[in-house]
Chains A and B, each alone.
Chain A
Amino acid sequence: MLASIFVIFLFQLVGEMLQKYFELTIPGPVIGLVLLLVALLLHGRYGKSSRGELETGLNRTSDYLLGHLPLLFVPIGVGVVMHISFLEDRLLSVLLVIFIGTVLTVGFTAFVMEKLQTRGGRHDG
């Protein structure tokens, strides 16, 4: 468990360092995600044991962290509520743009995705 936490922190650290060094717009944790995914794929392909202790630990740690993922957005969400007056009289129009735009985007993207998947005859997990 501790080793898996170390691995996750390490990949984030490397991601943050790459982001700062190359001044990328992609956030450090996202770079860490991609690097960890590449490492897992390489390990899965060339590693000796497929079900190592570290892998079990990583599975458990990520399940725990991601199981409570919405909680992690509460502190920043409170910040939005406390600073919402920033928008003054444009608050309602901005909220409407966000609401209509987001709901349409969810629907459009999911609809397109499902149509493309069915056309290719792909299965779902």
Chain B
Amino acid sequence: MTDEQKLYSIWVYLQAEPLFWLTLTIGAYLVGDYCYRRSNLFPLLNPVALGIVIVSGVLLIFNIQYERYFDGAKFIHFLLGPATVSLAIPIYRKWDLITANAKPIVTAVILGSIFAVLVTYLLAVFFSLEREIVLSLLPKSVTAPIAMGISELIGGIPSLTAIITIITGIIGAAFGTFTLDLLRVRKMSARGFGIGLASHGIGTARAMSRNETAGVFAAVAMGLSGIVTALIVPLMIFLLDI
């Protein structure tokens, strides 16, 4: 075997192994994290966005099917479930702070969820998108599994909704702090709450990585807005006659 053939056979072997895709995913994330720290925590250079760009770049350059990559990376993806469950622990640690804020939390979840759906509807109409896409956009602020369920129920396209919710999460995580600074919202609990309500798990992940109080309020907002949105979207479609 020539050296080139050897290298090629190693590459073929690596592509079929989860190890390669797991290493690539963690490595890309670490590079993203490094750039983020070097940029003095500039929101646009956040580790998730950079990690996604790097991995996608590798897949596109080497012409690799997403399914093949995911077959390896699914071990990281799997941890999303246990990580979601384990959000119960910091919420428990901050339980007194949450019960002390019970009234603002309930009011803000209801107002925020209505605002999220309404502003999305108005923007979608403004950009004259077709009905199916408008319906797929409406539940965009809640966590993907709930959003897909709502989308299916109201006649949207669930797989399109899945893509939309992930983009929403990344945008909320990357740009949310700009709006918060602009509006001079200083309380960590309120900042996290806004990010979690508008951009579910990805926003919560970012809030949690910066400040535990922000992360806990983001998680509470994410969970409650998922339930509230599932109830109000069908109602708003009826009221707005969409």
Contact surface of A with B, Cβ cutoff 8 Å = 5, 8-9, 11-12, 15-16, 25-30, 32-34, 36-37, 40-41, 44, 58-59, 61-62, 65-67, 69-84, 86-87, 90, 93-114, 116-117, 120, 122-125
Q: How many A-B residue pairs have CB under 8 A?
A: 325
Given known A108-B112, A109-B112, contact A86–B160 (CB-CB < 8 A): yes
Interchain CA distance A122-B90 in the complex, whole Å:
20
Given contacts A40-B89, A87-B160, A97-B127, 20 further A-B contacts (CB under 8 A): A27-B145, A29-B81, A62-B89, A66-B205, A71-B26, A72-B205, A74-B28, A74-B76, A75-B76, A78-B56, A78-B73, A93-B127, A98-B137, A101-B123, A103-B175, A110-B190, A111-B183, A114-B190, A116-B107, A123-B100
Could you pull out 12 A-B pairs where Cβ atoms are within 8 angstroms? A29-B81, A62-B87, A72-B77, A74-B52, A77-B49, A82-B59, A95-B167, A98-B171, A107-B179, A107-B183, A113-B108, A120-B104
B163 lies within 8 A of A105 (CB): no
A124 lies within 8 A of B213 (CB): yes
Contact of B166 among A5, A76, A99, A104 (CB under 8 A): A76
Interchain CA distance A26-B55 in the complex, whole Å:
30
For residues 46 through 100 of chain B, which have their beta carbon under 8 Å from a beta carbon of chain A? Answer: 46-49, 51-53, 55-56, 59-60, 66, 69-70, 73-74, 76-77, 79-95, 97, 100
